[in-house]
Amino acid sequence: MYTLAGKNIVVGVSGSIAAFKVAGWVSALAKAEANVTVIMTEAAQRFVTPLTFAALSGNRVYGAMFAADAGEEMTHIRLAREADVMLIAPASAQTLARLAHGLADDLLAVTTLATRAPVLICPAMNSAMYSHAATRANLETLRVHGYHLLQAASGVLACGEEGQGRLAEWPDVQPFLLRLVTPQDLAKKKILVTAGPTREAIDPARFLSNRSSGKMGYALARAAMARGAEVVLVSGPSALPDPAGVRVRRVISALDMYEAVLAEAADADVVIKAAAVADYRPATVFDEKVKKDQIDTSLSLIANPDILLELGRRKRPGQILIGFAAETRNLEAAGRKKLAAKNLDLIAVNNVKAAGGGFEAETNQLLLIGRDQVAPEALPLVSKDAAAHMLLDRVSWLFRQAARLQ
Ligand SMILES: Cc1cc2nc3c(=O)[nH]c(=O)nc-3n(C[C@H](O)[C@H](O)[C@H](O)COP(=O)(O)O)c2cc1C
């Protein structure tokens, strides 16, 4: 339900030097078990052969509108109807102009005109062409007509110039494509997610931290974005890339996280605290690196502010507050205690000692305990992406319940 598997995706390739990059995208979509059909403009076929896309997609590639073997079938109508989503990439200046003006003089244009599916457009061209008033006007028209547009990226272009016009990268495109085929049950909700560890400085070279990788929180941010939410991710130091379509605020220490989270939480509809925030920090932070012979063998610590407790105190009516608990034993009792103490609506307890769960792992097994919930819900051991969606299913249910009570 929350993947591209089984979705009918029509990929329209037009005549840009970036066409070869989309071969990689088609390959990724086929690996994700999407059913991909490629339409190429005549110019596109000068850059990459249809054979490349046919081999990668496992499907016939369409080009000419009046193909000799078309028979009685109206290819453009069939493809337009079958599509769950259309992706036009790279979209040349010419193709943008064609679509903006509703022209129907090639198979890609006529299929785009005929489809009722959402269309995602990724332009790619020389930066002067991209910033030209005619192209800007065409992009604006396309936006007004309801097409979904991704901006071209900046950098060195194939023509040697530097500027905006590069085709967007696949990791920045895939989440938007996924969103277009995902039920938007969290649309118009601001969801604040925290992720990762914090670092508590001892001196400029050393810090105290923990094993959190940020994977669970980042999975939650990606899942909430796919379901239409406006997502803010406050992340401690993590090697993971910023999820596309998510506003990311990177912080270092528990004190930084406290400030960022409280500022963002004020107008959030949901706050999910998946970060592993340090409970304590060194009482003294040295300005210079402490030399080996100066090091004391004991370190004195002071308590960090309890972010979750503060969020629970400030919780607005209708706001949903969700905490995570990393435990090694008595999961339910520990979870219930934290749920009550922090004024949470839901707690997700994970056994960090269990095989396949906890820190750094790709999978997780959560025990969900809601406020007033008699029996906790033990989720299966699944990928962190799937666990994130299961948790968001509960959030969606809480919103439906609240709407029913109004
Ligand atoms: C080597 C080469 C590279 C080109 N790269 C681009 C490009 O990146 N973006 C673009 O809009 N046009 C580019 N063009 C021009 C288009 O191929 C041309 O406008 C064509 O008519 C587009 O037709 P189509 O939109 O039907 O595919 C390039 C042309 C050549 C010869």
pLDDT tens for each residue of the chain, 406 residues long? 799 999 999 999 999 999 999 999 999 999 999 999 999 999 999 999 999 999 999 999 999 887 766 666 788 889 999 999 999 999 999 999 999 999 999 999 999 999 999 999 999 999 999 999 999 999 999 999 999 999 999 988 887 888 999 999 999 999 999 999 999 999 999 999 999 999 999 999 999 999 999 999 999 999 999 999 999 999 999 999 999 999 999 999 999 999 999 999 999 999 999 999 999 999 999 999 998 887 778 889 999 999 999 999 999 999 999 999 988 889 999 999 999 999 999 999 988 777 766 667 789 999 999 998 888 999 999 999 999 999 999 999 999 988 888 7
Q: Using DSSP, state whether 150 is helix, strand or coil.
A: coil
Closest to 197 measured CA to CA, from 233, 237, 234: 237
Residue ending a domain, among 148, 180, 212, is 180
Whether 185 is in a domain gets the answer: no
Q: Whose CA is nearest to atom 18 of ligand 1?
A: 15
6: which residues sit within 8 A by CB, 6+ positions away? 33, 34, 35
Shared domain for 392 and 247, answered yes or no, is yes
If one residue of 13, 17, 21, 139 were mutated to test the ligand 1 pocket, choosing by the most ligand atoms within 8 A of its CB, it would be 17
Residue type, 253: S
Q: Using DSSP, state whether 232 is helix, strand or coil.
A: strand
Distance 13 CA to ligand 1 centre (A): 11
Residue ending a domain, among 180, 199, 228, is 180
Shared domain for 221 and 164, answered yes or no, is no
Whether 51 is in a domain gets the answer: yes
If one residue of 38, 39, 46, 94 were mutated to test the ligand 1 pocket, choosing by the most ligand atoms within 8 A of its CB, it would be 94
Q: Whose CA is nearest to atom 14 of ligand 1?
A: 16
Q: Which residues are catalytic?
A: 159
Rg (CA), the chain: 25
Work out how many domains the chain is built from and give that number.
2
Index of the ligand 1 atom closest to the CA of residue 43: 27
What is the Cα–Cα distance from 297 to 301, expressed in whole angstroms? 13
Distance 105 CA to ligand 1 centre (A): 17
Shared domain for 205 and 174, answered yes or no, is no
Closest to 360 measured CA to CA, from 233, 180, 218: 218
Cis peptide before 183 (omega within 30 of 0): no
Give the domain CATH number at 95: 3.40.50.1950
Residue ending a domain, among 125, 149, 180, is 180
Distance 384 CA to ligand 1 centre (A): 41
Distance 124 CA to ligand 1 centre (A): 9
Task: Note down the domain range covering 77.
Answer: 8-180
Shared domain for 207 and 167, answered yes or no, is no
Q: What is the pLDDT of residue 64?
A: 85
Whether 292 is in a domain gets the answer: yes
| Phi and psi at residue 150, to the nearest 5° | -110, 135
Give the domain CATH number at 352: 3.40.50.10300
> What pTM, to 2 d.p., does this model score?
0.93
223: which residues sit within 8 A by CB, 6+ positions away? 2, 385, 388, 389, 392
